[in-house]
Structure formats: C-alpha cells, structure tokens
Amino acid sequence: MKNGSIIAAVLVATLSSVSASAQQTKGTIVSISGTGEVRADNDQAHVSFFIEEQDKDKDAAASRVNQKMKQGTEILKKMDPDGKYATRGYYSYPVYAETNKSRTISGWRVGQSLELTTTLIEQLPTTAAAVQQVLALNGISFGLSEVTTKSLEARRLEAAYKNLQERVQIIARAIGRDPADATFESLDVDSANTHFLPQPRMFAAAAPMAKGAPVQETSFEPGETVLNATLVAKIKFN
C-alpha cells in the first residue's frame, strides 16, 4: 500500500504540473516554419551558339557572320522546330595594329550569338554536332520546363505543410499541450527557391569545324533540380 500511495502521489503531482503548464501557455502564439523539398530530372536546356569573323574589310566580315548565322539557324529549326530561338549580342569592333608611330586599324571583328531553349534533351548531342559545322557551341545550362515546374508546385507546398504540422506537434508536446489545441492565426509562403544539381555545365567557346569535317557528339549530363518551399505560420494554443 505504501508503494501504491507513492505512485499515486507522483501521478497526481505530474498531472497537476501538466495542467498548470497548459494553463500557463493558454493563448500563447508561436511562430513556426516548415520546409518542403522535391527533386526532378532536368527536362529543358538553354544552349548558346556563336560565330565570329575577322577581316580587313568590315563589310566582308559582317557578311560572313550573317551568312553563317542564317545557316546555323536553319539547321537548328530543321532539327528542332519546336525550340525557342533568340539572337543576341551582335557586335563589331576594330582590331588595332601597334606601330612605333601610331595605333592604326588593321581589321575588324564581327560576331553574333544565337540561343536555343529546348526540351529535346535526348536529341541535343546530335543537334549541337550538326550546328557546330557552322557555329561554335558557347555554353549550355539545364533546368526544368515551365510545365514541369508548375506540376511540382503542389508537391513542394504539401511537403512544407506536412513538415509544419510535424513541428507544431513537437512544440505542443514540449510545452505540455495537446496538438489539437493549436489553431492557425496566419500562414504565409516565405520563399520558393530553386537550385540545380549539379551546377549548369558551361563550355569554353570553340571555333566551328572546317566545312565538311565531322563534329563528334558532345556528351551532356542534364542533372536534376531541387525545388524548395517554406511556410511560415503563427500558431495559437487555445
């Protein structure tokens, strides 16, 4: 009986302590954040090609650039008709020859870039090799298409909300409260971030191959993208 009385006394004291703790935290508002993460294989590529010509005659250099850019664009559109294209950075500037007496123009450099956005990832090595007969491959980066990004929006928010609920339960137990007593005062999306794994692969610019020379296909590794979401909530314990 003696041991039973001790156990009963301890139980009563514990329940009293929990009850007192619950009363002390009644009406408490706590700020809690939850994070969610989803991963997806990259299904879109941004590819940059360029051409540069040098000649003593500025117009001759410009004509060759214009001709090759037109040829390269035609090849791309034939192989990837659904791709999105944009021409960038047309430039021309003089090349100077240094002499003992003066600094004179010895020629001109003219160039232009062409950017392709495509979802034909598997075909990309063949496409790039074909275009490199005329234009140089300047750089490439991989990411997620707009369609894929939108399809993953719900998943990353659901993951963040699940994590938020788990943290609410942990905090409720820590302060001796029933998680069912918690109600949302506010709920905001603090951030929705994207980062790439691995980092986009960029290639040093290389001159196009001589006409007729075959270009070996480049191996591309698209990698994956991680999408993050953070929810910030104010929780009130009633």
Q: How far is CA 133 from the centre of its chain?
A: 30
Q: What is the pLDDT of residues 155-184, one digit of tens each?
A: 998 999 999 999 989 888 888 888 888 888
Angle at 84 between CA 221 and CA 41, to 5 degrees: 30
Q: What is the pLDDT of residues 98-132, one digit of tens each?
A: 766 777 888 999 999 999 999 999 999 999 999 99
pTM over 0.75: no
d(CA 29, CA 15): 23
Query: Hunting for tokens 């005329």 — which residue is that?
Result: 134
Q: Checking DSSP bridges between strand 103-118 and strand 136-143, what pairing results, if any?
A: unpaired
Both tokens assigned to 176 = 């001796």
Nearest to 14 by CA among 25, 26, 6, 3: 6
Q: Among the ranges 23-32, 139-148, 186-195, 218-227, which has the highest mean pLDDT value?
A: 139-148
Q: Which residues of 94-113 are buried (b: 16+ CB within 10 A; e: fewer)?
A: eeeeeeeeeeeeeebbbbbb
Measured between its terminal Cα atoms, the distance across the chain in Å is 39
Q: What is the pLDDT of residues 54-88, one digit of tens each?
A: 999 999 999 999 999 999 999 999 999 999 999 98
Tell me: pLDDT of 27 over 50: yes
